[in-house]
Structure formats: C-alpha cells, structure tokens
C-alpha cells in the first residue's frame, strides 16, 4: 500500500500518507556522463543558412546532413510527422516563423520516443511549435550552451494520462537558457531541467501540466518571470535519491504561481501521480533555495511545501551513497500571498485542515514536514522566512505527526543571498 492511501490515526495527526504530496514530482534520468571538453569547438566553422520548403518530407534529411554552424530555417505552416526527429550535430540553429506559425505535429506519430531528440552542444531552437508527440516533445540529452527560445510544446487534447511526459526537456546540460516559451498538458512536467548546471528559465508560461516547471538534481539555476497556472503543481525544486548529481543553489523569483489546481492526470505508479492538485511551489531534499518576490494565489493545497526524502514515498528507489535527504538553507522572503490552502487536493489533507483550522479555515502559506538532520540543527541550515505575516505549519513528521503546529520563531532568520546565474558571453544572451 502506498503512503498516500494511509488513513489518519486521529483527527489531530497528519497521516504520513499525506506527505506523499510533498514530493514525488521528479523523473529519473540516465546517469550523468562527463561533458565533452571539446564540445562546440566547431562553432567558428563557416555557417550556412538552409531553407526547408517542406519540413514533413525534408527536415530529417536536413538534420542528418547538417554541418556545425548551420541554421536550418522552416516556413510557416503545420507539418505532420509519423516518425520522431533526431539531431546529432553540434552548433546548429533550428528556426521557424513563430511558435504558433511553424508547427511540427506528431499527432499521427508511429515511431520514435520523442518529437525532436537532440544530442549536441551549441544548439538553438526558436520560433517553433511541437504538438502531440507520442513521448517527450523536445528532449536535449547532454550538451553545453543550449538555447530554447519562443518554443511551444502542447498536447492539443488537453490534460490526458496518455500525453507525453515532458514538454521542454534538457537533461545533463551545462549553460541552458529557456525563455519566452510555452508548455501545455504534459503528463509529467511542462518544462523540466535535470542533472544540469548553470540554468536560466525565464518569461515562460506553463499551464495544464502535472508539474509546470521542474528543476531536478541541478545546481545554479535562476527561475524568474514565469507564469505557472492551472497545473497540478506550479514550480518544483527537487533532488531524487538515486541520481549522481546533487541539486542546490536555485533562485525562484518574480514568478506568478496561480491556481495550480488541475486534477492529477499522471500515469498511475509514476512519481508525480501522488502530487495533490493545489500545490504552488514544492521543495524536496534540495539545499540553498531562495524564494522571493513571487506572487502566489489560489493554490488550494498550499502555496509553498518543503519536505525531506523521508516524507516523499521513495522507499522503492535506491539511494545514492552521498544523497542528502534533508532540505536545508531555504530562504523565503518578500513574496505576495493571496488565497490558498482552503481546499487541499487529498481528502486526508482536508481532514487535517479542518481538524487544525476548522471547516472554513485554510492551511498557512508554508507547509513543512519538520524533519531535520540530527547533527545539523543550527540556523545555517534552517528554513528562514522573512515574509510579513506568512506562517509555517510544521506537521511534525519526525514524531509520527504527534504535534503539528504553526510556528514562526524557529524561522525568524535569514541567509546570504545566492549569486545570480551568468551564462557565457558567447551565447549572446
């Protein structure tokens, strides 16, 4: 029996099953491989601009024949593919006429695990829509200096368990920019960056996904000026226990995280299938996360959730030897909190809300499982909150939820601000 099915033992205790919602939102990715020190070395090669007249019949051949430095230009129109596309060349730009004008449709896809799979550095994709792929829409597997700009990934039938898992999906990358893009109706995460370093995710819109934006087992990430609306969970900052890269140092700021109450439509048995509707921003087992100047409203389970591995329901996943299961050095300040916590996505959570705050009450803006490292309890590792009247609900999971309580004093602290992410000058961003 999974934890999420456990019942309350009393009306004043939070079942550990309810804590499944505090994590389980991440996907497992392949083990990290060392980046090629020479990747991108051909970027000064003579560049060509290649115009494709009929992408449906020509594009895969152009990708196979591409040379480093090429720009492949696609016209406006909707182009149908029965097979996934693959690119294995460094320093390629793929450009359309606009994310709603140049549409690569995989609605009738028969073969391939992705819409477009890229293995290479120096890759730029812009002004293209990718629709209805059988698996992930756009996957970039390993590479440096990646730019994803004005790209739309969408499953046009809306939220559906049979949709592909990921919309925009760079994994094992270094120096990645995702901007001005749109991700709709992925059955896992709309925008996902995993096992990567030096990341900027800005000015995007993610809606009607299970997870809107997810930063997983990655470090040095800035996530800002995005809108996550109508997802199951808005923004996630996670560390999974069985991956070799440890995530830390993520800034989440100046985002609109609104009404993420869409019913969970992930395939049963996947990690994200246990996420309750109504989750705004979730942190699990990640360190040095800075959350500021965001606007939260109408996330009906909670606006912010912080949990450890021990509340995540990952018992069936192998834990890496150096995995740190505790969320530490979290700094929450200067956010705007509207409504939230008034209608949690699981019945068990709603029972807790009513037991603690009454039939018409709401959870505080910040939920925390209360589990800390037994030898790291100094303020250096604390969850610090400098956010006006915002309160923290400690559900006391370390003591079998014997004493859930609202507390402020243990969180009246602050941490040093993280350094903004800087991408290499040669990326031109």
pLDDT at 16 over 90: no
37 part of a folded domain: no
Region 296-318: mean pLDDT is: 85
Query: Residue 23: beta bridge partners?
Result: none
170, pLDDT greater than 50: yes
Please tell me the total number of residues recorded for the chain in this structure.
429
Which residues are CB-neighbours of 4 under 8 A, at least 6 positions away?
A: 17, 18, 20, 21, 274, 313, 346, 348
Residue 209 lies in a domain: yes
* Residue 11 in this model has a pLDDT that exceeds 90: no
pTM for the full predicted model: 0.90
Q: Tell me: the pLDDT tens digits for 38-68?
A: 344 344 446 899 999 999 999 999 999 999 9
pLDDT, average across residues 419-423? 98
pLDDT score at 46 = 66
Q: Is residue 426 assigned to a domain? A: no
Cβ-based neighbours of 203, under 8 Å, separated by 6 or more? 179, 180, 225, 226
Which has the higher per-residue pLDDT, 6 or 173? 173
Total number of domains in the chain:
1
Asked, for residue 48, whether it belongs to a domain, the answer is: no
Query: Do the domain assignments include residue 67?
Result: no
Q: Is residue 69 included in any domain, yes or no?
A: no
Q: β-strands 383-386, 405-407: how paired?
A: unpaired
- Per-residue pLDDT, averaged over 315-323, amounts to 74
Q: Is 349 helix (H, G, I), strand (E, B) or coil?
A: helix
Domain CATH number, residue 101: 2.160.20
Q: Inform me whether the pLDDT recorded for 216 exceeds 90.
A: yes
**Poorest-confidence range of 6-20, 52-66, 250-264, 408-422?**
6-20
Residue 371: domain span = 3-30+76-421
Whether 212 is covered by a domain: the verdict is: yes
DSSP β-bridge partners for residue 144: 174
pLDDT confidence of residue 286: 96
Average pLDDT taken over every residue of the chain = 89
pLDDT in tens, 91-104: 999 999 999 999 99
Q: Are 413 and 382 in contact (CB under 8 A)?
A: yes
The answer as to whether 260 is a domain residue is yes
125-138 pLDDT, tens per residue? 999 999 999 999 99
């Amino acid at each position: 029996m999974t934890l999420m099915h456990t019942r309350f033992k009393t009306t004043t205790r939070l079942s550990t099953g309810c804590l499944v919602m505090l994590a389980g939102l991440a996907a497992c990715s392949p083990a990290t491989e060392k980046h090629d020190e020479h990747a991108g070395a051909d970027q000064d090669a003579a560049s060509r601009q290649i115009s494709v007249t009929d992408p449906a019949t020509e594009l895969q051949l152009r990708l196979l024949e591409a040379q480093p430095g090429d720009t492949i230009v696609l016209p406006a129109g909707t182009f149908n593919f029965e097979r996934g596309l693959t690119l294995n060349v460094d320093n390629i730009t793929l450009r359309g006429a606009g994310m709603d004008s140049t549409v690569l449709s995989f609605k009738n896809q028969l073969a391939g695990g992705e819409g477009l799979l890229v293995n290479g550095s120096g890759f730029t994709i812009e002004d293209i829509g990718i629709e209805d792929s059988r698996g992930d829409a756009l996957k970039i597997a390993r590479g440096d200096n990646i730019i994803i700009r004005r790209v739309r990934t969408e499953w046009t039938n809306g939220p559906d368990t049979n949709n592909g898992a990921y919309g925009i999906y760079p994994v094992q990358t270094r120096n990645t920019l995702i901007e001005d893009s749109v991700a709709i109706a992925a059955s896992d995460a709309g925008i996902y960056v995993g096992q990567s370093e030096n990341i900027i995710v800005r000015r995007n819109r993610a809606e009607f996904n299970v997870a809107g934006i997810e930063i997983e087992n990655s470090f040095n990430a800035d996530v800002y000026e995005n809108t996550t609306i109508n997802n199951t969970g808005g923004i996630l900052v996670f560390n999974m226990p069985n991956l070799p890269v440890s995530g830390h140092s993520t800034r989440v700021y100046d985002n609109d995280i609104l009404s993420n109450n869409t019913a969970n439509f992930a395939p049963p048995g996947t990690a994200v299938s246990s996420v309750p509707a109504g989750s705004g921003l979730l942190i699990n087992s990640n360190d040095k996360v800075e959350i500021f100047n965001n606007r939260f409203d109408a996330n009906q389970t909670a606006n912010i959730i912080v949990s450890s591995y021990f509340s995540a329901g990952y018992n069936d996943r192998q834990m890496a030897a150096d995995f740190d299961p505790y969320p530490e050095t979290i700094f929450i300040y200067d956010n705007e909190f509207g409504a939230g916590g008034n209608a949690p996505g699981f019945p068990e959570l709603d029972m807790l809300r009513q037991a603690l705050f009454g039939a018409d009450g709401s959870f505080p803006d910040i939920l925390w499982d209360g589990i800390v490292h037994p030898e790291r309890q100094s303020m250096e590792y604390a969850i610090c909150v400098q956010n006006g009247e915002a309160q923290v609900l400690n559900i006391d999971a370390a003591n079998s939820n014997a004493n859930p309580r609202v507390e402020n004093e243990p969180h009246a602290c602050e941490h040093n601000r993280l350094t903004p992410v800087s991408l290499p000058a040669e990326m031109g961003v």
